[in-house]
Amino acid sequence: MTGRFLPWTAGPAAWNMAVDEALLTSYLQGTAPVTLRFYGWDPPALSLGYLQAPLSAARQARCRQAGVEWVRRPTGGRAVFHQHEITYALVTGEREGFSGSVLADYQKIGLGLQRGFALLGLTVEMVSGLRCGKGVRSEDCFAAPSWYELTYQGKKLVGSAQLRRGKALLQHGSILLTYDPWFWQEVWREEARLEAAETAAVPEKVIGLKEAFGALPDPPVVIAALRQGLSEVLGINWEEGSLTAEERRLAARLQREKYANADWNNRRGRREVAGGGICPARKEGASG
């Protein structure tokens, strides 16, 4: 089986989310194969889960002052601050044997990522029980792992979220290069409820590749290993490609009309579309 691999790019928050959705749409239309891409965020950005409350006026002001963009993801889960990381996105579906079971598909993708880390010499564990939200009040995605997310020495290394549309899925996630609590301590925290103990405890539950390896790994080497791991587990031969002209047009429209639009970013999604019983998963109806 052959899939498309899109090389590393870095872009603004609205563009990143628009491209992910455009890839999902083209896959659903049958005009694109299973696609894997890796990307970064420039400038640094906060992404909110689809069902999260919008940012308060005070948080918006602090984000602007700090030069941090914000965007509402099409996927579920908690907030993620994107700066020192590699983000992956995989668009696939029933054609590649993804059954429609959220847990089974999370596990399959998680095994591919786990294999990739093993190729780097890093033994990571896969969480086998749902801990998302249990006893954790922090709105930081990395405060607790969920089903089949990856940890190292008990600390969360990868946070993922998923959108299911028809017989296709988009799963994207944050792979930490290093964890810097600055955003959560200085920008996110509300003055009226400091939650200092909870904020201070999050770094003890998180780890980046720099801390795991003892030195910052070369991102292209990490990407190559993860690409190979996903190839071995999913049985897909990745061939380098690029966005089609139609995908670029659709992404530009989604960026302009949706992900850069305050009407999208400053509202909370409808709970009835959340699916799977998994906090980072979201399922839409046939209409999308």
Residues annotated as catalytic (active site), given as ranges: 141
Q: Provide φ and ψ at 12, rounded to 5°.
A: -70, 165
114 within 8 A of 229, measured Cβ to Cβ: yes
The sign of the dihedral angle between the CA atoms of 277, 110, 231, 214 is positive
Picking from 145, 137, 144, 146, the residue whose alpha carbon sits closest to that of residue 189 is: 137
Residue 269: CB partners within 8 Å, gap ≥ 6?
A: 50, 51, 72, 282
* Token couple for 288: 């999308």
Determine the residue type at 54.
P
Q: Helices (H), strands (E): how many in the chain?
A: 9, 13
Other C-beta atoms lying within 10 Å of the C-beta of residue 196: 10
Place of tokens 């990856």: 150
Question: How far out from the chain centre does Cα 99 lie?
Answer: 21
